A and B are shown apart, each in its own frame.
Chain A
């Protein structure tokens, strides 16, 4: 809690520094607008009405959450399958290595071609970017088990299912969460990139649209909101992590890897 307050404090200090710097140095608004100017584009009623923030925030947020949900489920499922069966592992691993080596963002135009416009392609682009970190983290976690911990239940005749449910999966939770946090960031990036390429809604769309009019304060406002969404999402995951991993010796700080 103290840490959180300190972080918020630093953030305001940074805003203050920014405001003063822009005023003192007389930087033009279309290069770097002041924070007050930026915030006025979000909160000043007439401007806010013009930009329809709730609509765009909602669009982007939907993409982020939906893509995260899809990645979290499918990524962990794939990791589980790989870990469960050696045959599946030899089958799936090369495919994963191949797709992971592709520049995934570069596939985005293709996705638009296939899936059209809006929520679906943007979500899928985000899924594509965020998928592999989860698979890799969870599979690593499922493999990182003390052999003796397995012996402990094996001599009692544990079934494979019991070994996973009682030992391997809980043991992998720290890795699973670190995968979640990495892919949460990726989901934000993927959604915005999708909106850049083709969209009629979302903060990424608005950012690009504002660029066409050299409307820098709006661009800054978009950036601010995007990072805010990212931070809130990451923070929510950290809180959940601290809840789930209560048994870990040092989760109070929140956030590692």
Chain B
């Protein structure tokens, strides 16, 4: 299904936090690969280190040990990664389009070359016409779309998403799932998606990585072989139920 060189390789990644009460082993030893243009979700109990894992990949936290490679090389996360946080984190004093262009400014690239791209991305996330609005004029779902456009603007290979739809209501969330699949296939990016929603993970992903409680290890990488493009109907299919049950079983919820 995918090519043979992984885009992202994580090898025996460990993270130990030093706290006042002593050492806290967040990531036990995590190993997995993600291939180009894959959509991979990570599920696991709360506090098992999912956010920690994404932050280490993005270079926001130092790892304790282990290796991370992109295209088999050590890599510069600022160029290769786009991060979508749980909160939209838009700068309220900037117009939507200037929020999308923020990474360009930080990376000191020439903004003029990216304005058209920013518009195109806003169109991709379904927000054309809102370029000159301010964030507080948008709904929560729209704000999160802006933050997705922002994560794509500098053309990173890998998009990390940390429960991006966790704060949205169920209906908006399902709509955003469909939108995300469309954005993913049109932009041809590789996505690593953290979520608490098991259904959401299965619906979106090529593969669901299931982590154990802290210190976390990978319990299973479950390949989801549901046909694409996926629609909401797939959720009521028998295979979908089998996958869900499998994830629940791995998380010892049954």
Q: Do A and B bind each other?
A: yes
Q: How far is B76's CA from A170's CA once the two chains are assembled, in angstroms?
A: 28
CA distance A148 to B94 in the complex (A): 17
Q: Are B89 and A156 in contact (CB under 8 A)?
A: no
Quick one: which of A152, A154, A158, A248 contacts B92, CB cutoff 8 A?
A248
How large, as a class, is the contact surface on chain A? Answer: 20 to 34
Are A148 and B55 in contact, CB atoms less than 8 angstroms apart? Answer: no
Q: Are A151 and B136 in contact (CB under 8 A)?
A: no
User: Bound complex: CA of A167 vs CA of B94, how far in Å?
Assistant: 11
Checking A152, A248, A249 against B89 with a beta-carbon cut-off of 8 angstroms, the contacting residue is A152
Q: Which range contains the number of B residues in contact with the other chain?
A: 20 to 34
Alpha-carbon distance between A154 and B89 when the two chains are bound, in angstroms: 13
B134 in contact with A247 (CB, 8 Å): yes
The smallest beta-carbon distance between B113 and chain A, in angstroms, is 17
Alpha-carbon distance A43/B154, docked complex (angstroms): 66
- Contacts A157-B106, A247-B93 given: A152-B85 contact, CB under 8 Å? yes
B83 lies within 8 A of A152 (CB): yes
Question: Is B78 part of the contact surface with A, judged by Cβ < 8 Å?
Answer: yes
Q: Is A91 interfacial (CB 8 A cutoff)?
A: no
- The answer to whether A158 and B106 have CB atoms under 8 Å apart is yes
A residues at B contact (CB < 8 Å): 146, 148-149, 151-158, 162, 166-167, 170, 173, 245, 247-249
Q: A151-B83, A155-B78, A173-B93 are in contact. List 6 more A-B contacts (CB 8 A).
A: A149-B89, A156-B103, A157-B107, A158-B106, A162-B106, A247-B134
Closest A-B pairs by Cβ, 5 of them? A157-B78, A155-B58, A156-B106, A247-B93, A156-B78
Name B's A-contacting residues (CB within 8 A). Answer: 55, 58-60, 76-78, 81, 83, 85, 87, 89, 91-94, 102-103, 105-107, 134-136, 154
